[in-house]
Amino acid sequence: MEWWFGDSLGVHGHLIWGADSIAIAVSILIGVVAIAFAFRKVRKKLRWLEIGLWTAAVATAVVSLAEPIWVEESGRTVPGRSVVLVDGSRSMSVLEGTQPRSDDVQKILQMFEEPVDVYTFGAGLTAGAPEKWVLPETDIGAAFAAVTDRYLGQSLQSVVLLTDGLDRGGLRSAILAGSTSAPPPLPGPLTVYQIGESAALQDQAIIDVKTGGFAFLRTPFLLQAQLQGTPGRELPVTLRREGRLVDEAKVTLDEDGFGEVQFEVTPNDVGRFIWDVSIPVDSADGVPGNNNYPVVVRVVRDRTRVLQVSGSPSYDQKFLRLFLKEDPSIDLVSFFILRTHEDFTAGWYSDELSLIAFPYERLFSEQLATFDVVILQNFDYKPYFERAPEQLLNNIAQFVREGGALVMIGGDRSFDLGEYGGTAIEDVLPVRLGVEGSQVDVRPFLPTLTSPGSGHPVTRLAGTTADSVTTWSRLPAMDGMNLNLGAVDGAAVLLEHPELRAGGKPMPVLAIRELEHGRTMAFMADASWRWSFSEAATGKGNQAYLRFWKGAMRWLVADPDDRRLVVRPSKENLLIGEEMRLTIFARDAGYEPVPSTRVHGEIRGPDGVKSVFDVVTDESGQATAQFVPETIGAHRVLVSTSEHSSDQAETVFSVTNRDPELAEIAPDGEFLTKLVAAYGPERAVYREPGSTNAPMKDESAVRVVDERKQTSLAAVPLTALLFGLFASAAWWVRRRNGGL
């Protein structure tokens, strides 16, 4: 029987057709046509016998072409599967001694002789053992849920968990908190192998540095570093600012292995700066990356410190001094009734002089760096600077270049009348001095607002440009002005004289300049106080005067984020491999956006390697660049424009390999033992580090394997025999009837 059908056929099977339904239909059609053709040539004698035989032969051929298949389905019972869950997170790569703790995983996997299903888990579940331990998260509860879903309806012989117990999901916190809710259900008994042990772990780490996020200029603030390591060990701690040593200290860890150190720092510059706290790295340190902790601190001004020096009392001096005193954001030091050195040599006794002594040497040497802005208001330096006047003026110029601000206001003792031409002060002013002949014009005039002045923060007196222009047009005329030879290259003229000219252009009345890190402003008149009176007379208060000087103070002491060229990082502290987005803003001297300008950038890493980029600003004067750091530590960004190479900006950001997965690296055996206890001794067992004992198994766990047997009947011996028998018989009948 088996020979006829090619195999044994079970009585509980069923027949299916393997050929396409269209092919079967075409075969039937061809068979019908063939039978009809044969019927036309059949003689009447034995006609129906011959037709019957031909029909049987054709039907056998059609059935064979339809590919009949005899299908038998059954199932067999086999032992249940075993599943191994391997923790693939970064904490598994921590060094214990000289080897990563993940080495123990391979030893345990080699214990399983029978085939097992191995999965790597982090926040999710993937098939196969991990090749690298790089996953950024560990969620044991999610791994258990994924196994239950994947083997839904099956019973597993065992579920094996290989982990250090540093679960970042909710299961660990719930178990350690003594939650009464049942742990996640599993389709088989659980065996937990703890990977790693605290006794073999050596890790000295800086676990946190607290700074408050920002600090005030010239005001001490604390950097508090928290350390963890071997109990009783003394650790040297170093504080650096962008590679330069700031301070050192030693900390002895307590009996729990914790310690803290505080550094007091007084910042002397405004901007973003990187402070780096570090401890030495041992050869057997488990996580060398947590031995330094860089943080970016932004230094801002609490109060603007202003030095106002006037050669004599005046309304202009009085109004400006009152404005500066009443502004709570300004710390003012003002000198306006001064003794000259002639007063000391005129024979007067000290108690006969009401003039105060002017500590010019101390102010312009020792204390100059403590100020943000120096205002020289109608001040002629020669009568007061008895000793080393050139050096003191050089000090002021250097103060500006290093980030300070200087304002010179007109009067009969200022600019050329104050003999500043040819001095170091002229080198930093926005106007050129050296006027010959009359050095002052006393005719009243109404200054004209320039195009840059209409939008500049110093001269914007209203919310819109149109309103600002209107406000300037209704202010009173000036009483006259000091003359000059025009603006220097790179300066911006905000107000100009309607008639006087210098160098073929309208003569500047108010000009500003940025050079190196500082800013200067030259106001050639001494009657801005009239703006206050005129508005008060019209019932509008003194807002024009206040807005002008507030805008001037804000611009003069601008932070690095408020310069003509600015670069800002998307994040100040980021992980290695994380993308940094740098945004660049380019503006001209009048603070108008500079479109279509090429910006060249350079990123300097801690290892000295430089990465460069070139971008072009859009219509808003803005451009962006992306950078993915590959080294940890402080990175400095420097940008400059192709049109004005002197326009430069910089910022810093910090890169670290510190991530939450490595914030805690000691294996949590307590959690793993409590997890096993939550399932009970009948359903779970804990294996301590280094154990190679076999996992718990449920031998009764089985699964049914479906089997499907298919036997093709298209070309079996029986089909060929039937076709030959019917066709031969039909041909024999035809020959008996005398047919061909």
Please give the average per-residue pLDDT across 492-520, as a whole number: 94
**Within a 10 A sphere around the Cβ of 95, how many other Cβ atoms?**
19
Helices and strands of the chain, counted as H and E runs: 17, 37
Query: What's the mean pLDDT when you consider all of the chain?
Result: 83
pLDDT at 149: 93
Q: What is the pLDDT of residues 669-703, one digit of tens each?
A: 999 999 999 999 999 999 999 888 989 998 888 76
C-alpha–C-alpha distance, residues 507 and 136, integer Å: 65
The mean pLDDT of 274-299, rounded to a whole number, is 83
Q: What is the pTM of this model?
A: 0.56
Q: Measured in whole angstroms, how far is the alpha carbon of residue 287 from the centre of its chain?
A: 23
Alpha helical stretches, state H, 476-615:
529-537, 543-556
Cβ atoms of 521 and 510 within 8 Å: the answer is yes
CB 54 within 8 A of CB 38: yes
Range of weakest confidence among 24-38, 166-180, 369-383: 24-38
Out of 237-241, 344-348, 433-437, 592-596, least confident range: 344-348
Architecture of domain 81-197+667-700: 3-Layer(aba) Sandwich (3.40)
Decide if pLDDT at 620 tops 70: yes
The C-alpha atoms of residue 523 and residue 431 are separated, in whole angstroms, by: 10
Cα–Cα distance for residue pair 310/290, rounded to 1 Å:
55
Contact 445, 497 (CB under 8 A): yes
Say which CATH class 562-656 falls into.
mainly beta
> Where do you find CATH 3.40.50.880 in the chain?
305-558
Confidence of residue 541 (pLDDT cuts 50, 70, 90): low
Residue 664 has pLDDT above 80, yes or no: no
Task: Quickly state the pLDDT bin for 349 (edges 50, 70, 90).
Answer: very low
Confidence at residue 267, expressed as pLDDT on a 0 to 100 scale: 87
Lowest mean pLDDT segment, chosen from 25-29, 323-327, 396-400, 478-482: 25-29
**Contact in structure between 379 and 311 (CB atoms under 8 Å):** yes
Model pLDDT for residues 363-422, shown as the tens digit of each residue: 898 899 889 999 999 999 988 887 888 999 999 999 999 889 999 999 999 999 999 999
Residue 570 pLDDT greater than 90, yes or no: no
Q: How far apart are CA 35 and CA 55, in angstroms?
A: 6
Helix or strand run (H / E) with residue 335: strand 330-335
Q: Of the given ranges (280-284, 467-471, 695-699), which has the lowest mean pLDDT?
A: 280-284
Q: Of 420, 411, 419, which Cα lies nearest the Cα of 440?
A: 411
The SS3 call for residue 703 is strand
Q: Return the CATH number of the domain spanning residue range 205-279.
A: 2.60.40.10
Query: In this structure, are residues 576 and 632 in contact, taking their beta carbons and an 8 Å threshold?
Result: yes
DSSP 328: T
Mean pLDDT of 430-457: 92
Mean pLDDT of 57-66: 70
Phi and psi, residue 706, nearest 5°: -75, 135
pLDDT tens per residue across span 295-316? 888 888 778 899 999 888 888 9
pLDDT value at residue 196: 87
* Statement: residue 439 has pLDDT above 80: yes
578 CB contacts (<8 Å, ≥6 apart)? 571, 628, 629
The CATH 3.40.50.410 portion of the chain extends over 81-197+667-700
Region 328-345: what's the mean pLDDT?
A: 70
How far apart are the C-alpha atoms of 23 and 137, rounded to whole Å? 56
pLDDT tier for residue 354 given thresholds of 50, 70 and 90: very low
Handedness of CA 333, 338, 341, 345 (dihedral sign): negative
Q: What's the CA gap between 673 and 685, in Å, rounded?
A: 8
Confidence of residue 46 (pLDDT cuts 50, 70, 90): low
- Which amino acid belongs to residue 273? F
Instruction: Tell me the backbone φ, ψ of residue 694, rounded to 5 degrees.
Output: -65, 155
> Which residue has better confidence, 196 or 67?
196
- CA distance linking residue 87 with residue 637, whole number of Å: 39
- What are the residue ranges of CATH 2.60.40.1930 in the chain? 562-656
Name the superfamily (CATH) of residues 305-558: Class I glutamine amidotransferase (GATase) domain (3.40.50.880)
Higher per-residue confidence, 658 vs 107: 107
Query: Which residues does 274 contact at the CB level (< 8 Å), separation at least 6?
Result: 241, 242, 294, 295, 296, 297, 634, 652, 653, 654
Q: Which of 366, 371, 305, 379 is nearest to 337 (CA)?
A: 379
Please tell me the predicted confidence (pLDDT) of residue 346. 45
Query: How far, in Å, are 201, 224, 259, 280, 617 from residue 232 at the CA level?
Result: 16, 20, 10, 16, 57
Give me the pLDDT at residue 342, please: 53
Q: What is the largest CA-CA distance in the chain?
A: 167
DSSP string of 226-242?
A: EEE-STT-EEEEEEEET
Q: Which of 377, 378, 376 is nearest to 392 (CA)?
A: 376
d(CA 420, CA 424): 8
Answer whether 584's CB lies under 8 Å from 639's CB: yes
